Amino acid sequence: MTQYDVVVIGAGAAGLHCAATAAARGRSVLVLDHAKQAGKKILISGGGRCNFTNMYTSPENFISANPHFCKSALSRYTQWDFIALVERHGIAYHEKTLGQLFCNESAKDIVAMLMNECSKYGARVQLRTSVTGISSVATGYKIETDQGDISAEKLVVACGGLSMPKLGATPLGYQLAEQFGHRVLPVRAGLVPFTLHDADKERYAELSGLAVDSVASNQRASFKEAMLFTHRGLSGPSVLQISSYWLPGEPVQMDLLPGTDLFAELTTLRQQRPRSLLRTVLQQWLPKRLVQAFSDQYQWPDHNLADCSNALLQQVASTINNWTIRPNGTEGYRTAEVTLGGVDTDEVSSKTMQSKLQPGLYFIGEVLDVTGWLGGYNFQWAWSSAYAAGQDA
Ligand code: FDA
C-alpha cells in the first residue's frame, strides 16, 4: 500500500492550494480526483478568465450558519497573499469592477500556477481515480480507490459542493463528513438564475437578452448590480447574488432605476413637458422593450403627462422603483455557481480546518458551510481555508 503524510481528495481550487502548502512544509502529499483534468471549475470560471479573488474580501461577504467561522482563515491568508502568488508567477491581471480581479489572458494560467506549485514542492496529483471507500486506521486513514489502496496520516476533504455535476461535482465530501459523524447542514443551489412562473415567463420572454441596472433586495440582503432577462427567467449579477439569500416562495424586490425617485421626476416633468407621452418619457430611463412590456402588463394608458393623475404616476413609479417578482424556483445545481450549506462549521476548527470529532481529518473549500458572494470571494475562501489546512496537516 502506498503511503503519504497527507492525501487530499479533490484537485480543485482548495485541494491544489492545500497540497502545495503542505508539500512546501516537507510533507509527502497526494491529491486524488476522479476527473480527467484538474481545476475544471477554475478553467470555466469568470468567463474563462477566472475571477480569482476580490480586493475587498471581508467576512461580511460570506454566508454561513456561523458568520465568525471564516474570519481566522481569511485573516491568515488574505487576498493580498494570493495576489502576491499570482504576481510571483508573472500572471497579468486586472480589476474588472467592484474589486474583482481577473486574469488578463486565461484561467488556464491559474491552474498552471497551482500545478506548478504542487510539482515545485513535490505534491503528486493523480487524476482519473475513483475513491471507493475510506476508513480510519491506527496510522491514520486507508483510502481505497479503483487504482489501489493508499494510506495517509492526514486526510483532507476538498471535493467541493454539488453545483455543476457535469464538471464532476459529487456528494462525496458530504458523505465522508457524515461517515465520520459530522452534521451536514441542508444544501441548496446558490448564485443561480431564477426561473419564473409560466405567465411571467411568457410575458418577459421577448425581453430575453435585455440587461438593466437594478438593486435586488429582500428582507436579508440587497445588491446593486445589473439584472438580465433570459428565456427561462432572470439572471445577471444582482439576481445571482440575491438568489443566495432567497427561499422558495418568497418575493424579490427589484429597483430598476437605482438612485432615481421616479415619482418625483415624473411630477416635475408633468409641469415642464405636459404634452409628452408617458411611455415616451419612460424611455428616457428604461429600454423601449421593457416600457412596452410593463405598459401592457400593468395597463398604463398612452396619455400625455398632463392627463396622468398622481395615483397613476405613483403606480408607474412604484412598479419601476419597487418591481416585485415571485420566482418559481431556480435553475438548480445545473447552472449554480455554488452550493449553500454543507459541513457544519461548529464541528471544525476555524484555525486549522481539522475536524473536532475525528483527528487528522480536514474539510476545506466549498464542502464547508461557507459560501461567498459573487465576485471572487468563493475562490478566496478556497485559498484561505486550503492554506489553513495545508499549514496543519
Ligand atoms: P471544486 O469544485 O473547485 O473542486 C472539487 C474537486 O473535487 C473537483 O476537481 C472534483 O472533480 C473533485 N471531486 C468531486 N467529487 C469527487 C469524487 N467523488 N472523487 C474524486 N474527486 C471528486 N468563484 C469565484 O470566486 N470566482 C469565479 O469567477 C467563479 N466562477 C464560477 C463559475 C462557475 C460556472 C462555477 C460553477 C463556479 C464558479 N465559482 C467562482 C465558484 C468556485 O468555482 C468554487 O467556489 C470553487 O471552485 C470551490 O473550490 P473547491 O476546491 O472547494 O471545489
In whole angstroms, give the CA distance from residue 115 to residue 123: 9
Are 35 and 127 spatial neighbours (Cβ–Cβ below 8 Å)? yes
What would you measure as the largest C-alpha separation in the chain, in angstroms?
86
Question: What confidence score (pLDDT) does residue 329 get?
Answer: 98
Q: Does the CB atom of residue 190 touch ligand 1 within 6 A?
A: no
Q: Does the CB atom of residue 9 touch ligand 1 within 6 A?
A: yes
Question: What confidence score (pLDDT) does residue 109 get?
Answer: 98
Q: How far is the CA of 308 from the centre of ligand 1 (A)?
A: 53
> Which regions in the chain score pLDDT beneath 50?
none
Q: How far is the CA of 313 from the centre of ligand 1 (A)?
A: 48
| pLDDT tens per residue across span 264-296 | 999 999 999 999 999 999 999 999 999 999 999
Between CA 276 and CA 224, with CA 204 as vertex, the angle to 5 degrees is 80
| pLDDT tens per residue across span 152-201 | 999 999 999 999 999 999 999 999 999 999 999 999 999 999 999 999 99
Question: What confidence score (pLDDT) does residue 301 get?
Answer: 93
Question: Which of 17, 41, 101, 377 is the pocket-test mutation for ligand 1 (most atoms within 8 Å of CB)?
Answer: 41
Q: How far is the CA of 114 from the centre of ligand 1 (A)?
A: 14
Question: Which of 108, 367, 378 is the pocket-test mutation for ligand 1 (most atoms within 8 Å of CB)?
Answer: 378
Give rounded-to-5 percent helix, strand, coil for the chain: 35, 25, 35
Q: Does the CB atom of residue 158 touch ligand 1 within 6 A?
A: yes
DSSP letters of 190-219?
A: ES-PEE--HHHHHHHHTTTT-EEEEEEE-S
Question: Which of 55, 164, 335, 337 is the pocket-test mutation for ligand 1 (most atoms within 8 Å of CB)?
Answer: 337
CATH number for the domain running over 193-330: 2.40.30.10
Counting from 1 in the atom list of ligand 1, the atom nearest the Cα of 16 is 51
Phi-psi map region of 16: left, alpha, beta (phi>0 left; psi -120 to 50 alpha): alpha
Q: Is the ipTM of this complex over 0.85?
A: yes
Strands 184-190 and 323-325: unpaired
Instruction: Evaluate if pTM is beyond 0.90.
Output: yes
Q: How far is the CA of 383 from the centre of ligand 1 (A)?
A: 12
In whole angstroms, give the CA distance from residue 41 to residue 364: 16
Amino acid 5 reads D
Beta-carbon contacts of residue 128 (< 8 Å; ≥ 6 apart): 33, 34, 35, 36
Q: Does the CB atom of residue 240 touch ligand 1 within 6 A?
A: no
Cell numbers given for 123:
505534491
Say which CATH superfamily domain 2-188+340-390 falls into.
FAD/NAD(P)-binding domain (3.50.50.60)
Question: What confidence score (pLDDT) does residue 1 get?
Answer: 83
- In the chain, CATH 2.40.30.10 sits at 193-330
- In the chain, CATH 3.50.50.60 sits at 2-188+340-390
